[in-house]
Amino acid sequence: TQLLEQSPQFLSIQEGENLTVYCNSSSVFSSLQWYRQEPGEGPVLLVTVVTGGEVKKLKRLTFQFGDARKDSSLHITAAQPGDTGLYLCAVAINDYKLSFGAGTTVTVRA
Amino acid sequence: NAGVTQTPKFQVLKTGQSMTLQCAQDMNHEYMSWYRQDPGMGLRLIHYSVGAGITDQGEVPNGYNVSRSTTEDFPLRLLSAAPSQTSVYFCASSQGGGGDDGYTFGSGTRLTVV
């Protein structure tokens, strides 16, 4: 059983549409991270959220940490083909280890 | 600034062969880790290091060895390759353990064991 459940597993949309991906758990976390991974590359950190209810924006990407710090969402406005990739959420289990969700594969069609 | 460099990019091994996956970082990070990525399973921690001379096991350490003789390098050794070790391997580094600042990942080694 994965600590972090991501949904949906796959998402294919047209350029210009909006999308939301989710990261859920039954555990409470002190912080949560979102990464994006492009084909043939390693994950790249997008953001870390640390406060319950926190909203962070990165251009067209909006990240929210749930009030209870058990879940998070990533919303992309007016998606572009460059947003295509695997989106991973992760939490720090201790000082040395990140636990990752299985990821959401996003495809934005031109 | 190269960040985290992994070699080779691709590798095919026969069952029973051994090999070393190389990882080097030039950011003077204390924490380094090896993850494997398999479809539908996310990234799973194999081994990690919190500094030169200090290593420990992660979730899936069996069949792998590591050492950390310098801050920069953290090689992963496959002792006797098995088809179950077919995967994409990522090396990552962090200054503060990854909780706040996250990890910087290499571009991966895609390993196939036949």
Whether the bond between A8 and the residue before it is cis, its omega within 30 degrees of 0, is: yes
What pLDDT digit, counting tens, does each position of B48-68 carry?
A: 999 999 999 999 999 999 999
pLDDT at residue A1 above 80? no
- State the pLDDT at residue A95: 73
Nearest Cβ partner for B42 among A33, A45, A102: A102
Q: What is the DSSP string of B20-67?
A: EEEEEESS--SEEEEEEEETTTEEEEEEEEEETTEEEE-SS-TTEEE-
Residue B48 and residue A97: Cβ atoms within 8 Å?
yes
Residue B104 and residue A45: Cβ atoms within 8 Å?
yes
Q: How far apart are CA A64 and CA B58, in angstroms?
A: 29
Residue A43 and residue B41: Cβ atoms within 8 Å?
no
pLDDT at residue B75 above 80? yes
What pLDDT digit, counting tens, does each position of A23-57 carry?
A: 999 999 988 999 999 999 999 999 999 999 999 99
Are A74 and A20 in contact, with CB atoms under 8 Å apart?
yes
Residue B41: left (phi > 0), alpha (psi -120 to 50), or beta?
A: alpha
pLDDT at residue B46 above 70? yes
Gyration radius of chain B over CA positions: 13
Nearest Cβ partner for B41 among A31, A98, A102: A102
Give the torsion through C-alpha atoms of B43, B46, B51, B53, to 10 deg.
-170
Choose among A33, B24, A78: nearest CA to B34. B24
What pLDDT digit, counting tens, does each position of A58-106 carry?
A: 999 999 999 999 999 999 999 999 999 999 999 988 777 889 999 999 9
Q: How far apart are CA A12 and CA A109, in angstroms?
A: 7
Q: How far apart are CA A65 and CA A42, in angstroms?
A: 24
**By 3-state DSSP, what share of chain B in percent is helix, strand and coil, each rounded to 5?**
5, 50, 45
Confidence class of residue B10 from pLDDT cuts 50, 70 and 90?
Answer: very high
Give the closest-approach CA distance of A40 to chain B in angstroms.
7
Choose among A26, A16, A20, A25: nearest CA to A8. A20
pLDDT at residue B40 above 90? no
Q: How far apart are CA A107 and CA A104, in angstroms?
A: 10
- The two structure tokens encoding residue B58: 């992660």
Residue A95 and residue B92: Cβ atoms within 8 Å?
no
pLDDT at residue B98 above 90? no
pLDDT: is A30 or B13 the higher one? B13
Q: How far apart are CA B3 and CA B46, in angstroms?
A: 21
Residue B99 and residue A92: Cβ atoms within 8 Å?
yes
Secondary structure class of B85 (helix, strand, coil): helix
